[in-house]
Structures are given as C-alpha cells and as structure tokens.
Amino acid sequence: MSAAAVADVAVIGAGPTGLFAAFYAGMRGLSVALVDALPEPGGQISALYPEQVIRDVAGFPAVKGRDLVRSLVEQVRPFRTEMLLGRQAVRLDDRHDGRFEIGFADGGALEAGAVVVTAGIGTFAPRTLPCGEDFLGRGLTYFVHDPAELAGRRVLVVGGGDSALDWADALQHSAQVTLVHRRDSFRAHRHTVDQVLAGPARVHTETVVEQLRGDTRVSGAVLRNIATGRLTEVGCDSVVAALGFVANPGPLLGWGFDVADRKIVVDTAMRTSRPGVFAAGDVCTYPGRVPLIAVGFGEAATAVNHAAVRLDPTASTFPGHSTDALVAEAGVLI
C-alpha cells in the first residue's frame, strides 16, 4: 500500500458490523478502505470464537462464527474495498478540504471523505481465572478455537454469560461437561440456558473454582459452594474459563468525540459529534441500544446511507432496494 491510500469511506473496524458497512457502501457505489488492527477480518468473532454457534442473526437458524465472517467477506468481495488489516488507526485529522486523514501506528495514512467507526469493544483481553494461571496452556484456555480437540474429554466450563453457556451447550454431547457459575442465575440467552439445563452437562451454581490440580497438566478441580462453603472435587482434562473480557478502545476515545461509558455517542443517523464521522456497532451508544450483531448490521446501513449524503448532498438517504438494482440490470420494467 502507498503511504497515503484514498477512499470515499474509511471503515475503522473489520468485525461483522464493519464488513456489512463496507458492503453497504459498495452498494452505494462508494470506494471503501476497511481498517483493522487485527491481521484478519471478523474482529472478536475470528479472534475468540470462530467455531462457536451464533443463533441470533437474521436468516441463520444457527451459524458458526467462522462461517458468518466468511459470508460477510464474500458479500464485500464484488465491490471496491481495500482491506487494510494489521494496521492500527491512531489518529483522525480534519483536512482543509473537508476530508479526513487517518494515521496508522506504522506511519502510513489514509485519506477519506467520510468515516464510519465500527471498532466494537476495541482490543480485548480475557478475564483470568485467579487460581488457574499456572495451568494456562496446560489444560486451561480462555478461547476454544477447535471444539473437536475437546471431544471425549472431561471439560470444566467456568462462567455464566453467553460464551460459557454456548460452549457448554456445544460441547455437552461430545464431551463430559461440568458448568460452574458463581451466581444462581445466568446472563446468557434463555434458550441456551434451557438447552444446557435439559442436557447431560452437570451444572453447579453459586459455586467458584477454588483450585486446579494436576502435574504436567490439569487433571481436576476443587469447587467451593459460596452459600454453604462445601468443597467438591471434580475430574477434568480441560478447563474453559469464559469469564468475559477487559476491553480497551485504544486511541479512538481521544479523537474528539462525545463519549459516555467509554462509548461514542451517536444520534439517530449514527452521526458522532464530529461532522462527517459516523459510528455503528458496539463502539457506539444511544438511549436504549441493545448490543447484538443484528443491531450493528442495521446501524451500519444507517451510517453508510447518511455518509453517502455527506459525500454527495444531492443524493438520497434512502438507496432503494437491492432488488430494484437487479431488476434494472435485467432491463425489466415494473
């Protein structure tokens, strides 16, 4: 890539929301530079749970994270999209001509007429299992990249959110699963909770992992019931600690946006407080927002359609339907 790439729209963040934003900009005839600090598209999905099944994306009763990302990349492919992966955006400057310059950590730069920030939660690190760090890489993991490797094993899953319950559900029919959660209720989707509770997994609530045991690798765990103090020993060959993540939005919050709770504040058009800069997905906030991939897709379309008008004030915010374009290409009158 040259020192200064040029695009109509810069999309900062190549997770699902960013990929859909790039696609939608292509549908509007705009050139796109899709930027991400990670070396591959897909954001958190590709990095953390490529094999996890996602059930709340419209049109997919169930889809693995890897397959969803693959489909989104394929959707982008026909359009003028330059993938700038492994490039961290560290500054966003206004140019004298009303355009923007995005500077990268490696010294390169990108010029764009509008910017859509879709950086999700930013960089992330797993919340650690306090008693288990000595076993990291020796049976303890924070991410499951290949569930087939756990087939037939005794797997201890720790956590009560979507990731923990998703893994417990996905593994309980191929492995001997024990789920441990420190509270008496779960934060995960009700359907997934019901699937786990109805399945063969053993579930311990109001319970924490007091100790992991083993020689060269983990072979068991001591559990402590918070309410009674009772200790229970369980055998396990693998431990999946799905305790959530500590997010770091990086330099984005220093780019002059209005911010609330470490999120970029947007209006109903997904506009930030900087004219010409929009935000979509989990990096943004507004009253009543629900943090779902499906929500991010809608926000991406809204952001791009308003960015298109920013680039060409004579354009319409409503782009028409994709089926209209197909009919026009076929020469059919309706």
89 is in an annotated binding site: yes
Three-state SS across 247-310? EECHHHHHCCCCEECCEEECCCCCECCCCCEEECHHHEECCCCCCCHHHHHHHHHHHHHHHHHH
Q: Please tell me whether residue 246 adopts helix, strand or coil conformation.
A: strand
184 is in an annotated binding site: no
100 is in an annotated binding site: no
Q: Cα(331)–Cα(106) distance, rounded to whole angstroms?
A: 48
216 is in an annotated binding site: no
Q: What's phi and psi for 15, nearest 5 deg?
A: -75, -170
**Do β-strands 89-94 and 32-36 pair in parallel, antiparallel, or remain unpaired?**
unpaired
44 is in an annotated binding site: yes
Q: Which two tokens stand for residue 44?
A: 């958190």
Q: What's phi and psi for 274, nearest 5 deg?
A: -100, 115
135 is in an annotated binding site: no
Q: Which of 21, 38, 258 is nearest to 117 (CA)?
A: 21
Q: Please tell me whether residue 187 adopts helix, strand or coil conformation.
A: coil
Q: Which of 205, 125, 133 is nearest to 164 (CA)?
A: 205
124 is in an annotated binding site: yes
Q: Cα(82)–Cα(88) distance, rounded to whole angstroms?
A: 15
93 is in an annotated binding site: no
Instruction: Give the residue ranges of DSSP H helices in the chain.
Output: 16-27, 43-48, 65-76, 162-171, 190-198, 293-311, 322-330
Residue list for the binding site = 17, 36, 44, 49, 89, 124, 282, 323
Give binding residues for FAD as ranges: 17, 36, 44, 49, 89, 124, 282, 323
